[in-house]
Structure 1
């Protein structure tokens, strides 16, 4: 069943009807469309940035977050099929990279393929998790692990009990989504994959990112950037310069 209001899912920070390519962007755990709000300024004018707004955050904070990746991508396929009147690419970071791959896999089953998929900050789904599962931990331990391992909770949220109570269900749902996704069978895409990572991120080391090579029948390359797991925020300009070079001639 198609979502009734697909625009809830897609937020373009800067509308660009003249663009000849749409870049759909998927966030990391706990993240929202605001991650990508500055991207249109630094990407070529032929690219329209379309951030995906997942339930349970920002403008959809009152909605229940989705904790099952397969259900989420089934909904997203129906949404995106209504917005594919021009070529498109997909970018996902960390949790978003798993969503991006599964979304591209399901679109391929509909004979629709992106021109590129950018999979950032996470190895392929057939690689075991670097850290023990977190999603079933009691709240205090869950928060501590997320803070110490991923630095995933902003300090302003940690210091505000009400914000923390609002934010916690989404974070737990996101970690459940990531840690319960089982897709051990490799289903290659028909489009090029760029695997991206931070040089100081043990989860997305070069050796781990190589695992995505088997997930495409097309070209594959790895690009590493200065920074840790959140290099896309720490070193946004370098990432977007690389993506600009890739997307500008399409």
Structure 2
């Protein structure tokens, strides 16, 4: 989780009712990768990803309500309405194959979005990338945060290493961001797993070697959510390893967004 949802002016290039912050291409890509931010994060987390994944993959950073380009909107405090609204917004973006990437809270959103799109007849993603997010069947074991006093919420963010200095130094800014921060904690803390038919798409999991929040062991059960290929990578870093380990992470994502060979088997990489 990270508090990077600093309000900004509405940016050009937003589409899908504001859910995607990326200009539309003149010609359709081979595949769209929808990227879901972590709690209190924003679409800007994925700035710079597009060029790293090649010209045929269109990176579509998702903006949740209540931050940056959508900071005047009310954030969702439950996962189901968030996913339902997002799935509806993406209907016009599913004319080409798609994949999903989510970090921390974003991995949970990506998982439930994959199931919701399947229910709507859109088919499953080409691949589901889950990063730094506990497997959905596991219980939430971290301290309950969303309904605690502000000081508790801020301290938790500090201990996670996810509170930028500019937010710490600006009480008014922190007050402005607090509704979205609390809502995102609530999304994670109130989530209840419901059994459905397993996915059949590949699931690629990433864990930080020094992540105290979601160690690799809590990523391993993601294998139980698909009958398709599963692979888990451990990358150097703490809960926010996607920043220091950005290059190997993106290299792995790019390699995975090609058809998996039929002999593909489950494996783990360190």
Q: TM-score, normalised by structure 1?
A: 0.92
RMSD: 1.8
Contact 2:100-2:129 at 8 Å conserved across structures: yes
Aligned positions of 1:38-53 closer than 5 A: 38-53=48-63
- Report SS of the residue matched to 1:191: coil
Give the deviation of 1:14 after TM superposition: 7.8
Cα pair distance change 1:238/1:13, threshold 3 Å: farther
What is the distance in 1 between the residues matched to 2:181 and 2:117? Answer: 27
Counterpart position of 1:22: 32
1:246 is aligned to 2:256 = yes
Gaps of 5+ in 2: 1-14, 261-270
What is the distance in 2 between the residues matched to 1:151 and 1:15? Answer: 36
What is the distance in 2 between the residues matched to 1:211 and 1:202? Answer: 17
1:117 is aligned to 2:128 = yes
Counterpart position of 1:159: 169
Counterpart position of 2:99: 89
Pairing partner for 1:225 from 235, 253, 258: 235
Bigger shift: residues 32-41 or 14-23 = 14-23
- Report SS of the residue matched to 1:177: helix
What is the distance in 2 between the residues matched to 1:86 and 1:33? Answer: 21
Per-residue CA deviation, residues 81-114 of structure 1 (Å, 9 max, x unaligned), is 2210000100000000000000001111123111
Give the deviation of 1:63 after TM superposition: 0.7
Per-residue CA deviation, residues 211-236 of structure 1 (Å, 9 max, x unaligned), is 11110121111011111111112221
Aligned positions of 1:28-67 closer than 5 A: 28-67=38-77
Higher fraction of helix: 1
Counterpart position of 1:192: 202
What is the distance in 1 between the residues matched to 2:136 and 2:144? Answer: 15
Contact 1:192-1:219 at 8 Å conserved across structures: yes
Gaps of 5+ in 1: none
Q: TM-score, normalised by structure 2?
A: 0.86
- Report SS of the residue matched to 2:61: strand
Per-residue CA deviation, residues 170-225 of structure 1 (Å, 9 max, x unaligned), is 10000001100111536421211111111111333222111111101211110111
What is the distance in 1 between the residues matched to 2:142 and 2:165? Answer: 22
Give the deviation of 1:37 after TM superposition: 1.2
